[in-house]
Amino acid sequence: MADCFLPASILLPHTQVDLEKWACVACDQFTSQPQYWESAARLVGDAPSTLNLILPELYLEQPGVERRIARIHTAMEEYLTSILTRKVEGFIYLERTQMDGSVRCGLVGAVDLEAYSYAPGAQPPIRPSENTVVSRIPPRLAVRRGAPLETPHVMMLVDDHGDTLLGPLTRQKSTLPQVYDTSLMLEGGHVTGWAVEDPALIREIRGGLEALGSQESFDAKYPQAAGGKPLTMAVGDGNHSLATAKAYWEELKATLTPAQQENHPARYCLAEVVNIHSPALAMEPIHRVVFGADRALILDRWAAYAKAQGITLKVGLPGDQTLTLLADGQEVTLGLDHPAQPLAVGSLEAFLEVLVKDQPQLTVDYIHGSDAVRELAAKNAVGFLLPDFEKSDLFKGVVLGGVLPRKTFSMGHAQEKRYYLECRRI
């Protein structure tokens, strides 16, 4: 489907806005580190910022969330009137310089939500890369419902070995009008963007997407699934944000005529597309921290769970799958032989689901970066470090095995996530 990712009317703040204060990191980062969001708020002060347009997930279940959402919607209305005065009709090609100096290329445009589904077993051109936890959608839906605009942290992936989609834009960027160039707050690196509005270039992009999503391309890349429904894109970051946009569209679509459904703004969701084969795109495991538990409880419960499942749990030794437990200032290797799940993250997730159901006083958080896990594990918690995730397996996993276990991987460090910058009316 060539039209699963389309040009859009992309809104940008006027040139007097300080873009370093305007752009802030994805709302699903630093969920156990309130000091990050407090630092961001101090840095922004009274300046216009996308920080005022989003609800950090840290606050999703805290008292006063309704007031926060009301303030977000008010800020959106104000910014539409006085701040978001520039418009790009098309795509934005961008280059993100990350903390290590590597440059990640991307393309901002609009996902057609009719070409995407998070329903189990669905095989549309755009698919999630991880299980969608439906219970996580309603609080996010409360933010999107009634919002006059969106700003994206969703990152889509294409399996483009030949760099046919973004490569030509990289080579032509000097001929394109630059629309932003800024450092990003709190060690986020740097980002530069160029408008892609030329009709001929837009046709090339859409043709490139059509080729990537063709049956011929699909069969060549995934011969074990030859003849299956082609996959054009997989969701890399922001699975639940895109699912929320889909849920809102389905809710709204029921109130519209077929003619209105064809081009309603809420049918689309702004996102950035990145080539999974980019050397600058690092796939890192998302680790786990259990709060309220100690090492003895975890090992006792896991031993009982493993025995019941026919799994051999080895403390201090590697196994068919290996991970690391952190507690009491110590790091212990855990090996699993004969695991029921194909990945260590799936084995850990299956155990934690049983553990939390049996011990409801425990809570689990999903953490980016081993240093953050070590810091939290030193504060009356138990951490789990997962092995590296091979990014080349992501598309094969989605095509051949369906979605991966939730929170399997992260694309880079927390500060390297997409920063909110562009906006679009919905």
pTM: 0.82
Domains and CATH numbers, the chain: 2-280 (no CATH), 283-390 (3.30.1760)
Do 267 and 7 touch, CB atoms closer than 8 A?
A: no
Confidence (pLDDT) at 257: 97
Dist. CA 417–CA 107, nearest whole Å:
15
- The predicted pLDDT at position 392 comes to 67
The answer to whether the beta carbons of residues 269 and 150 sit under 8 Å apart is yes
3 Cβ contact list (under 8 Å, min separation 6):
112, 115, 206
Sole residue written with tokens 């057609």: 112
pLDDT means per 10 residues, the chain with 426 residues, are 86 98 95 94 98 93 91 98 98 96 97 95 92 84 94 96 96 97 97 98 96 95 92 93 96 96 96 95 91 95 97 96 94 95 88 96 92 92 91 79 77 88 97
What is the structure's pLDDT at 12? 98
**CB contact set of 4 (below 8 Å; sequence gap of 6+):** 111, 112, 115, 116, 125, 126, 209, 213, 232, 233
Rounded Cα–Cα distance for residues 85 and 53 (Å) = 16
Closest CA to 404 of 137, 4, 161, 127: 127
State the pLDDT at residue 167.
96
Spatial separation of the C-alpha atoms in residues 200 and 174, rounded to whole Å: 16
Q: What pLDDT was estimated at residue 61?
A: 81
pLDDT of residue 1: 43
